[in-house]
Amino acid sequence: MRMPFNIPQASAHYLHQHAQLWGDTVAGLICARTALKPVAEPEHGDRRFHADDWSSNGWYSLLKQSYLINARALAELVEASTLDEKYKHRLRFFTRQFIDFASPANFAATNPEVVRTAVESGGSSLLTGLTHLLDDLGNGSISITDRSAFEVGKSVATSSGAVVYENDLFQLIQYAPLTPKVAARPLVIVPPCINKFYILDLQPENSFVRFACEQGLTVFVVSWRNPQQDMADTTWDAYLEDGVMQALSVARAISRADKVNALGWCVGGTLLSSALAIMRANGDDSVASLTLLTALLDFSEPGDLGVFIDEQGVQMREHTIGRGGLYPGRELGFVFQALRANDLIWPYVVNNYLKGQTPAAFDLLYWNADTTNLPGPMYSFYLRNMYLDNSLRVPNKLTFCGTPVDLGNIDMPSYLMAAEEDHIVPWRSAYRSTQLLGGQTEFVLGASGHIAGVINPASKNKRSYWTNESCDENADDWRATAVERRGSWWNHWIGWVRKHSGEQVEARTTLGNRKYKVIESAPGRYVKLRAE
């Protein structure tokens, strides 16, 4: 049990730290001593204060330590509050935003690296930074990578394949086989519609698509269209019926398989599970197995995204875009950046605007900046029924495409992967899906976060993951007896999915079939469409 927060004691400790800090600073100035043990140190991995000046220069050391003392005092006050946990989470999040913003590293006059760069460049670094700021204001977003270094279809999303079906909502890509024989049942991947699919096919060495093809699977991927004004009335049901279910049907027809294996990531997993619940309720058993990657079905603890969602905010969305309109991709992109401000906002403010540097080329950040819009009706429905009301977990509370939805009807084997440090889909929340799905489930916990936890190439075999043969009701009980395994969860998953992939057959050299002919080469037109 947590001990009660003692405000007088905390206040005395806070004042004592500041008094000690000032005393050490004055003593260092008088006696020219710089080797005193710091009163406050940054946490391990905090890159804001790596420059030597933050420790060797008395003035900058004072700024750094004063900030850290104040920041920790604020954080402790939040934890000491008697607010309901939901509101405390919100207070914690926005307090952290203020703390991150207030760092002396974020201001030109109090960052030693910025001052040195300005002096050495004769002020040109500040002028260049101003130019970068004006450019980004014009673009409506902070540049986090060198966008000119990549081109979709040439430097990212380069796996060989073809678009074999398209409608107004998505293109279906079939990838060329990389083995003489393939499993009879294909893999159909449903990525999130709030990002573009090529996170799964960045470069050959970190491409999940290529890995699956190399392991003898026929791979189909849904490439969602980036919504423009003609999709302003598109609904959640349309994403299920004209999107997910149509993709599964076409992939099965092309491969001439009895069943397909299906994989969904993030909201793609929510869409896929919703579609499968409809299909199973209607007697459709054409999906052999389900894989969910960092996906939520129970939204009772949605992580930091939950701080942006309340009744008033959802009503506002429903009245403005819920009956028709678009939710801008840039706004959604900034929300995701704010979740990790010290990684995705402030370093770029400092480097781009204060130091005048150009961000480095990084494929993952290029993808992160390639935002997508969302149709207002679909987005508003998602916010209301998933995040706010958490209705999907309740059997038959929601009706999709005219069919009451019960996740318990999803009775095929399921592989559920979550990430230990995921701030978008907390792993304990993802674990709750094991208690909602009707079939046998295997839960795997990977290291790292929402993206890096999933994109952990088997060829590099880094990090680790945890497995447990049993799926207890409580996530912490599962973790307590889970076994850590070194390397990538990809190798574990491929062994699992092979069990549900059927016999080996000769790989076909032509893509599509007579009904579903090749439309264009992968990655297709839709993925290249930019958000308005």
Catalytic residue set: 266
Q: Where are the beta strands (DSSP E) in 468-523?
A: 483-486, 504-506, 520-521
Alpha helices in 325-432 (DSSP H): 329-339, 341-344, 346-348, 363-369, 376-382, 427-431
Crossing angle between the packed helical segments 58-80 and 7-31, to the nearest 10 degrees: 180
Burial of 148 (0-12, 13-18, 19+ CB in 10 A): exposed
In whole angstroms, what is the distance from residue 261 CA to residue 184 CA?
10
- Name all contacts of 249-252 with Cβ < 8 Å and 24+ positions apart: 249/286, 250/164, 250/165, 250/172, 250/220, 250/516, 251/172, 251/174, 251/186, 251/188, 251/220, 252/186, 252/286
Alpha helices in 256-350 (DSSP H): 267-281, 311-320, 329-339, 341-344, 346-348
Instruction: Specify the DSSP class assigned to residue 244.
Output: I
Cβ atoms of 169 and 486 closer than 8 Å? no
In whole angstroms, what is the distance from residue 390 CA to residue 110 CA?
45
Going 130 to 136 to 142 to 144, the CA torsion angle's sign is: negative
Q: Which has the closest alpha carbon to 408: 447, 370, 446, 436?
A: 436
User: Which residues in 63-80 are b (16+ Cβ under 10 Å) and which e?
Assistant: bbbbbbbbbeeeeeebee
Residue 66 corresponds to which tokens in the numbers above? 């004063």
What is the residue whose two structure tokens read 């092979």?
A: 498
Is the bond preceding residue 523 a cis peptide, omega within 30 degrees? yes
The CA dihedral of 95, 97, 99, 105, to the nearest 10 degrees, is 180
Chain centroid to CA 92: 21
524 dihedral zone (left: phi>0; alpha: psi -120 to 50; beta): left
Cβ atoms of 128 and 353 closer than 8 Å? no
Alpha helices in 373-465 (DSSP H): 376-382, 427-431
The DSSP-derived string for 82-123 is ---HHHHHHHHHHHHHHHHHT-GGGSGGG-HHHHHHHHHTTT
